[in-house]
Chain A
């Protein structure tokens, strides 16, 4: 009721503003000739970018033919570029930047200034830099809203530039990966050449498992037995940080899903119900059962300390969520020196099915911003930074002999704290041809990656996550989405943490509230986009 009154008020306010004095006005329509065709009718199909003049001007640069092959680029004018990266600037930045620029000046008459978001409020500053046009080249990542930013026109389309300016670079990129970087049919960012695998898995204490003779937590029952076994033997040992993802075993076939709907890999065009299914109630009951068994703290919802840090210090016995080979190998290396008596192990959830495809290419990539004044030169510089061995090594490890040296076994050895391993945070520039392994963890991680590649080959599954590049555009239902998200954080989170008294009643409340918040609108919007994506990619 209240909502109704408010919306009526809003509508009234809008109506008075928009339609005031319409009375007997003639609409502009009547003035237009019979066969009026707006020139933008075609334009709007091409891309959003061209809906205003300013945008048109800036995009002209990209679509203009730079004149045939790469060699014919005009280098007569010196160009200064800004390369925006995440994280903090290393102490030795200036010397490395000078070394890079010395080469760049000579090769393409350009210089690059590396600017950093710093980790404080990095997300906000990253957006602001894009908004205010403060960069030419910029690091992009799907975990940093790449999809939405690209949908909204923050980056230049690179199709032409890749062909004309940097064919070598284009040739080096896995076509599947390049395809994954397309937004609305156009490549928007240059993916990292190095294939990474961030297959989710569960990390657990192998030493404790052996000690108490417990099963490997490779299924939900085994996880329960593993946890209960440790609890029985050592009641003071903490078990889990929270209830996140203990249902992860069941969802290995889930390709995507949002707002309580699920899509399975086997049939991605079929959308299946979750929140309103009996399975959901069963799952939530399970969460409560586990919570009541004392597997995690009753204060978990307000606990914001880093669970990984506490796992690392032996306060938990397994990490079922947010984990990947990279985190795991870091721990292996850390424990080797700090807790040699402890042993950690990793079980990849979907390895048995072969769904261990490499990370979405957009997870680690470089784009050219729409405000870039010299897209050709920016593209050329990007190509050199990735493909030129000398430049690439500079961006990753600093100056050889000053900041690092290559050990006899071919691994990386740091010489100066001023510029550490990948200190520039130019992760998207990593090139496997020149990449150096770093320490025990680095070597182990590469081993795991090779193993995943084998599994993929064996099972014949796709090498690149085919669902990863889906980018939802929420602009047409943002208010409803906000409301739904909010209901989730208030009613779904406690359910998932198993902290409610009566599961069925709470599930009912949640369902009612989420419906009232506009779930149907949001689902409709998502479903439409998902189906279009599936169709477009022939999945």
Chain B
């Protein structure tokens, strides 16, 4: 690939130049469209809440205020705990999930596995039909008695049909059957083929699925909302959104009862929350990107 790029620079035809001009322009424009609102958010998070309410948003903060961050970090121990737990859930879930997903996808991509269509169908069926939240909750909370544990927060997210199917296409796209067959003839067991031959060439696929899994964990708040009985096991997103919800909920419902209202700079806190949640991911994303930029091709393995 790198050699190719060098060669590229030497002989650029007219249509190639047109293409690159368009490509740079379009990607650049898209990037700006995507980042402008985000700048709005960052600026909003540093603006005084009252100013947002009265004068709206602006790209540059009109007045500098750390109130929103002050509110979020009012209880530093709690938010750090939430960060810690989220990192734990993300790491644990992504690691286990990547393994399980890849393993399943590998089996489903093997032509010699007679029941792969049956299994695919069974997996796909779950994405269409579901029993809703109540029996699901009942099963985890009452039958398996897992309410309040950390296991129940990461376990339900370890894989999904979408990721398995995605991984299956990656495997069948990058590992031709012939290679696996020849390895088999050489006496390799299924697990060896999986571990030694499939996994190494699957980096872009692993990176993608891993990224999706990790983002899923990072952005999840629902399982904490249902299963956490103690603030020490809260996920970050739940911790933050609940903080915001408590203000809005109270304000909505005190018509019928005399309940004291918590006060929170809601507008700027919303913004600051987005920054607090997104920040670490933006720092991490370039590491994942490495695998998108230089995927190892089958050719390299064969050679």
Which A residues are closer than 8 A to B by beta carbons? 87-89, 91, 115, 118-122, 125, 128, 131-134, 141-144, 196, 198, 305-306, 308-310, 313-315, 322-327, 330, 334, 359-360, 363-364, 417, 421-422, 425, 427, 438, 445
Return 16 A-B CB contacts under 8 Å, by A number. A118-B225, A118-B245, A119-B249, A120-B238, A120-B245, A122-B249, A132-B142, A143-B253, A196-B258, A198-B257, A198-B258, A324-B258, A326-B259, A327-B261, A359-B258, A364-B258
Q: Which residue of A lies closest to B226 (CB)?
A: A125
Seed contacts A313-B50, A363-B256, A427-B258; 14 additional CB < 8 Å A-B pairs: A118-B225, A119-B249, A120-B225, A128-B137, A134-B142, A143-B257, A196-B257, A198-B256, A306-B266, A310-B53, A324-B255, A330-B260, A334-B263, A359-B257
Q: Which 10 A-B pairs have the closest CB atoms?
A: A143-B256, A119-B246, A119-B249, A119-B245, A196-B258, A326-B258, A120-B242, A363-B256, A120-B245, A363-B257
* A395 smallest CB distance to B (angstroms): 15
Query: Majority SS of interface residues in chain B?
Result: helix
- Contact between A141 and B257, CB atoms less than 8 A apart: yes
CA separation between A439 and B75, bound complex, in Å? 24
- Contact between A427 and B257, CB atoms less than 8 A apart: yes
Quick one: given A87-B246, A196-B257, A438-B260, are A120 and B54 in contact (CB under 8 Å)?
no
* B198 smallest CB distance to A (angstroms): 41
Which residues of chain A have C-beta atoms less than 8 A from B250's C-beta?
87, 119
* B59 smallest CB distance to A (angstroms): 21
Q: Which residues of B4-49 are within 8 A (CB) of A?
A: none
* B75 smallest CB distance to A (angstroms): 7
Which residues of chain A have C-beta atoms less than 8 A from B255's C-beta?
143, 198, 322-324
Count chain B CB atoms within 10 A of each CB in A121, A198, A421, A425 and give the residue with the most: A121
Which residues of chain A have C-beta atoms less than 8 A from B53's C-beta?
305, 309-310, 313, 315
- Contact between B256 and A359, CB atoms less than 8 A apart: yes
Q: Which residue of A lies closest to B261 (CB)?
A: A330
Quick check: is B254 within 8 A (CB to CB) of the other chain? Answer: yes
Which residues of chain B have C-beta atoms less than 8 A from A143's C-beta?
253, 255-257
- Contact between A125 and B134, CB atoms less than 8 A apart: no
Q: Which of A118, A142, A313 contacts B242 (CB 8 A)?
A: A118
Which B residues are closer than 8 A to A by beta carbons? 50, 53-54, 75, 78, 133-134, 137-138, 141-142, 221, 225-226, 229-231, 238, 241-242, 245-246, 248-251, 253-261, 263, 266-267
* B284 smallest CB distance to A (angstroms): 26
Which residues of chain B have C-beta atoms less than 8 A from A196's C-beta?
257-258
Q: Which residue of B lies closest to A468 (CB)?
A: B256
CA separation between A115 and B256, bound complex, in Å? 23
- Contact between A306 and B248, CB atoms less than 8 A apart: yes
Q: Which residue of B lies closest to A420 (CB)?
A: B260
Which residues of chain B have C-beta atoms less than 8 A from A421's C-beta?
260
- Contact between B257 and A119, CB atoms less than 8 A apart: no
* B258 smallest CB distance to A (angstroms): 4
CA separation between A445 and B258, bound complex, in Å? 10
Q: Which residue of B lies closest to A133 (CB)?
A: B142
- Contact between A131 and B134, CB atoms less than 8 A apart: yes
